């Protein structure tokens, strides 16, 4: 904190300190917080900095002031499940938002190094260049400058080139995927997906009455080509959903020879492929050939999101497709996403000036270091209770209990101790991963993580086989 004296962002550190302090107080009583002078002396910043941080919290409804008395923390009401049911995903979402919860279930790679400061700085510069009255009308499928930047990023040869008209930007990934499901007419259709698969994708397919067939990844992270061919022969497969390079939550890369064999098989059967490109830039090893460079671009649809690499200030999802132009334009127009044109322009400039590539170099290094230190900690604290896949990218670790236990009960026991992890059963519609957990390695401090892992180890050892 002392190094922050006089810097324009000292209030952010004070804000984070106060947020942590408020969360630790619990949710049952109004508690008086330290005075402006006490905090200024404790944190070695000015009183005005403390005042500004308090004012932000007051606007958010986290604190309130009493004349001649000071600031008090407002109790946060506990959040109960919406219907009192036992929906595991709902329980996880609700619990992760409770004050004081150590959230080890998240998948937010950019949280370790967000790009928000350069993005917001560039946005402020663009606001001065583009005064509001002179702004062009909102473009329903995204700002042209950002779409052109993304198209250029995906172009790798004259045969595999993309244009701005092939790119569609939405407010978030969920909205983009809902549009794709509608455009492709997937209701009652057969879709093959690699497994484990992200729960948000699984839930959207389930709600849309899609018949999902899971392809469990092999031990080396590859796809069973024999099983894939049998399914292509026996089922009326409408679509195959694959990760471009890095599968999440497993955190593994499909071996090169297996990736090429799968691509040849899909090409032989003329299968349409939906490629998840959200994590490609987070693979620790660079230079891996993505599926899209091995597939027919006219039978390929690519989707991704920006928040995994840039951070929450860039929540946008996007899709690339050559063949669905009219249908995608119509659905994006009807969806009427309201996207900030200036924010999109700022992101496009970050791509254009190479700032995002520089950011990714640092982000990958930090994620790799975090993964190594966390797996070492796992070996020391939980080597007798868990087995895990060495992550080849991303911000999470996929692990399996060494003995058969009721991990749902372990999950609830941890919630009672204010620790949230992601049970493996969330990543399958067919109950394939009842003995698995996904754990983030990129969100907590080392001390918090070590304490949480010790608690997890105790919970696993207490659970009967």
β-strand partners of 222? none
418-439 tens-digit pLDDT: 889 999 999 999 999 999 999 9
Tell me the domain boundaries of the chain. Answer: 2-73, 88-107+359-462, 117-353
pLDDT at 5 over 50: no
Q: How many CB atoms lie within 10 A of CB 143?
A: 24
**Among 278, 285, 329, residue whose Cα is nearest residue 142:** 329
Q: Domain 117-353 adopts which CATH fold? A: 3.40.640
Mean of pLDDT over the chain:
88
The pLDDT of residue 174 is 94
The pLDDT of residue 26 is 59
DSSP symbols for 217-269: PPTTS---HHHHHHHHHHS-EEEEEEESSEETTTTEE--HHHHHHHHHHHHHH
The pLDDT of residue 2 is 39
Average pLDDT estimate for 268-288:
94
pLDDT at 289 over 70: yes
- CATH architecture of the region 88-107+359-462: Alpha-Beta Complex (3.90)
**Among 187, 156, 128, residue whose Cα is nearest residue 346:** 128
Asked if 420 and 103 count as a contact pair (C-beta separation under 8 A), the reply is: yes
The pLDDT of residue 32 is 85
Q: Which residues contact 47 (CB under 8 A, 6 or more apart)?
A: 36, 37, 40
The pLDDT of residue 166 is 96
What percent of the chain stands above pLDDT 90? 62
pTM equals 0.84
pLDDT at 134 over 70: no
pLDDT at 135 over 80: no
Could you tell me the sign of the dihedral formed by the alpha carbons of 177, 214, 216, 425, in that order? positive
Q: Look up residue 145 and give its two tokens.
A: 């400058």
pLDDT at 23 over 90: no
pLDDT at 112 over 60: yes
Q: How confident is the model at residue 83 (pLDDT cuts 50, 70, 90)?
A: very low
The terminus-to-terminus CA distance of the chain in angstroms comes to 48
pLDDT at 287 over 90: no
Average pLDDT estimate for 146-155:
96
**Among 340, 284, 283, 282, residue whose Cα is nearest residue 315:** 340
Pairing state between β 386-388 and 317-321: unpaired
Q: Angle at CA 330, nearest 5°, toward 327 and 333?
A: 145
Q: How confident is the model at residue 224 (pLDDT cuts 50, 70, 90)?
A: very high
pLDDT at 85 over 60: no
Q: Does residue 130 or residue 458 have the better pLDDT?
A: 458
Q: What is the DSSP letter of 33?
A: P
Q: Do the two domains 2-73 and 117-353 of this chain adopt the same fold?
A: no
pLDDT at 145 over 70: yes
Of the ranges 28-32, 216-220, 316-320, which one carries the lowest mean pLDDT score?
28-32
User: What's the CA gap between 421 and 423, in Å, rounded?
Assistant: 6
Domain 2-73 carries which CATH code?
1.10.10.10
250-261 tens-digit pLDDT: 999 999 999 999
Residue with tokens 């399996």: 400
User: What's the CA gap between 111 and 268, in Å, rounded?
Assistant: 41
The pLDDT of residue 3 is 41
Q: How confident is the model at residue 169 (pLDDT cuts 50, 70, 90)?
A: very high
The pLDDT of residue 256 is 93
User: What's the CA gap between 231 and 210, in Å, rounded?
Assistant: 16
């Amino acid at each position: 904190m002392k190094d922050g004296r006089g810097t324009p962002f000292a209030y952010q550190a004070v804000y984070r300190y106060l947020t942590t302090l408020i969360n630790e107080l619990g949710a049952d009583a109004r508690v008086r917080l330290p005075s402006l002078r006490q905090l200024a002396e404790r944190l070695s910043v000015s009183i005005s900095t403390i005042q500004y941080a308090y004012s932000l919290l007051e606007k958010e409804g986290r604190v309130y002031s009493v004349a001649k008395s000071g600031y008090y923390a407002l109790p946060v009401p506990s959040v109960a499940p919406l219907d009192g049911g036992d929906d595991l995903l709902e329980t996880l979402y609700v619990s992760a938002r409770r004050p004081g919860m150590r959230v080890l279930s998240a998948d937010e790679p950019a949280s370790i190094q967000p790009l928000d400061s350069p993005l917001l700085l560039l946005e402020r510069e663009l606001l001065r260049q583009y005064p509001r009255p002179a702004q062009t009308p909102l473009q329903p499928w995204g700002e042209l400058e950002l779409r052109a930047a993304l198209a250029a990023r995906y172009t790798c040869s004259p045969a595999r080139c993309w244009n701005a008209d092939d790119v569609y930007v939405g407010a978030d990934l969920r909205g983009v995927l809902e549009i794709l499901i509608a455009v492709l007419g997937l209701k009652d259709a057969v879709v093959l997906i690699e497994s484990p698969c992200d729960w948000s994708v699984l839930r959207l397919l389930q709600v849309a009455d899609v018949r999902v067939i899971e392809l469990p990844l092999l031990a080396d992270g590859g796809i069973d080509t024999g099983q894939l061919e049998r399914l292509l022969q026996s089922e009326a497969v409408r679509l195959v959903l694959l990760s471009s390079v890095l599968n999440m939550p497993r955190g593994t890369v499909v071996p090169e020879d297996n990736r090429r064999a799968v691509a040849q098989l899909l090409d032989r059967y003329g299968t349409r492929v939906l490629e998840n490109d959200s994590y490609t830039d987070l693979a620790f090893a660079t230079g891996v050939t993505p599926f899209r460079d091995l597939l027919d671009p006219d039978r390929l649809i690519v989707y991704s999101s920006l928040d995994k690499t840039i951070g929450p200030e860039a929540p946008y999802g996007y899709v690339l497709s050559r063949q669905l132009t009219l249908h995608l334009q119509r659905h994006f127009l009807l969806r009427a996403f309201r996207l900030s044109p200036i924010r999109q322009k700022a992101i496009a400039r970050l791509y254009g000036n190479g700032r995002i590539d520089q950011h990714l170099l640092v982000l990958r290094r930090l994620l790799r270091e975090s993964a190594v230190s966390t797996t070492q900690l796992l070996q020391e604290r939980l080597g007798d209770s868990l087995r895990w896949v060495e992550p080849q990218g991303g911000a999470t670790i996929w692990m399996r209990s060494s003995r058969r236990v009721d991990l749902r009960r372990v999950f609830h026991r941890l919630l009672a101790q204010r620790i949230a992890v992601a049970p493996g059963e969330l990543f399958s519609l067919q109950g394939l991963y009842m003995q698995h957990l996904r754990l983030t390695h990129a969100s907590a401090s080392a001390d918090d993580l070590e304490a949480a892992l010790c608690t997890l180890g105790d919970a696993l050892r207490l659970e009967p086989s």
